[in-house]
Amino acid sequence: MTLIDIKSLSYEKVLETVQDMGEKAFRGKQLYEWMHGKLAASYDEMTNLPKSFRDKLKEQTVYTSLDIVEVLTSRIDGTQKYLFRLADGHVIESVLMKYKHGNSVCVSSQVGCRMGCRFCASTLGGLNRNLTTGEILDQIYRIQVHSGERVSNVVIMGTGEPLDNYDNVLGFLHGISDEYGLNISQRNITLSTCGLVPRIHDLAGEHLQITLALSLHAPNDEKRRALMPIANKYELKDVLAACQEYYDKTGRRLTFEYSLVGGQNDSEEDAAQLNSLIHGMNCHVNLIPVNPIKERDFVQSNKKVIDKFKNKLEKYGINVTIRREMGRDIHGACGQLRQSYLESETT
């Protein structure tokens, strides 16, 4: 008998499953609320469920609950990095960032990544496996319980390419915004993708209210190919057309992420080309000074170059911000904590 992955199921599916077990539907509602509202770490916490029902659940299901391996807290800004161990022994990382407007969690969507972006630590070991819906949700649940902080914003910008794990990420988006769960507003959720064109079209058709962020990182196809292998598969004109469709269908302003890599994509000419590429789109550009990783020799653009790039875009009337570096003292960059953990295990 294969065990049911109960935390990955939608509200309706939980009710159905519970009735298939011979229980009343309201038990399903109670169970769903224990998992996704009260954030129980095990069935034993669900004290108002009859013991006989809990025993059935233990027999027929797996209950995902991530183990905290390590929590690092930044002395600079209070950012916390969580390293979690999954039931099969893999480790993943998530980040809690505290802003004036609320607490934001950055979740991982895969164990590793197969997209191969040259500057990114998450992709160094390739892809191990997709995360289940329950494993993506539980990153937020365990952080909320451990920190005692209410999470109001979510960014899917940790390890992995979310649109390469489409169904489970979609389940996550529905689960995290479910009225019987944490009920986080979809408007407070951002999904970042390197640009899987067919999946962006699919996402546009889901009629969600989440923000789509595209990892653009270059002003033309040639430069993009040098940084991101996925650019060999999809041309910028198709990627941007898919983003435009997302905007047309949802009305949500687009975010373009642009990691500035010293000497590669940070000249004033690059800024001018970038403007021609996206001018007229309802968008916002988020500049990220590249976080150098030791396995690659990319360097950060210097502060003056970054300011020049930003000013140039602003002159064209483009809405632009520079991403604040959070948790610089605790392996701030994407996938670096997990990477250093994996290295320490093998040495």
Paired with 321 in beta bridges are 286
Closer residue to ligand SAH (CB): 171 or 332: 332
Segment near ligand SAH (CB under 6 A); pick from 15-23, 81-89, 115-123, 181-189: 115-123
State the Cα–Cα distance between residues 267 and 187, nearest whole angstrom: 33
Active-site pick, 23, 93, 161, 257 = 93
| Cα–Cα distance, 290 to 260 (Å, whole number) | 5
- Contact mark string toward ligand SAH, 37..56, x via CB under 6 A: --------------------
Residue 104 is a binding residue for ligand SAH (CB under 6 A):
no
Please, where are the H alpha helices in 88-214?
133-147, 166-176, 197-204
Task: Select from 35, 293, 318, 337 the one that contacts ligand SAH (CB under 6 A).
Answer: 293
Cβ at position 322, least distance to ligand SAH in Å: 12
Nearer to ligand SAH, 18 or 285 (CB): 285
- Three-state DSSP class for residue 165: helix
CB 93 within 8 A of CB 83: yes
Catalytic residue list contains 334: yes
- Report the residue number, 62 or 226, with the smaller CB distance to ligand SAH: 226
What residues numbered 213-232 form the site for ligand SAH, per CB under 6 A?
Answer: 215
Tell me if 259 contacts ligand SAH by CB under 6 A: yes
Nearest partner of 224 among 246, 252, 195, judged by Cα: 195
Asked if residue 326 binds ligand SAH (CB under 6 A), the reply is: no
Q: Is 325 noted as a catalytic residue in this protein?
A: no
Q: Indicate whether 111 belongs to the interface with ligand SAH (CB under 6 A).
A: no
Give the helix ranges, DSSP H, for the chain: 11-20, 25-36, 51-60, 133-147, 166-176, 197-204, 221-227, 236-250, 268-278, 303-315, 336-346
8 Å CB contact between 340 and 89: no
By CB under 6 A, residue 130 contacts ligand SAH: no
Q: What is the largest CA-CA distance in the chain?
A: 69
The catalytic residue positions are: 93, 334
Where on the chain is the footprint of ligand SAH (CB under 6 A)?
Answer: 115, 117, 119-120, 157, 161, 192-194, 215, 257, 259, 288, 290-291, 293, 333-334
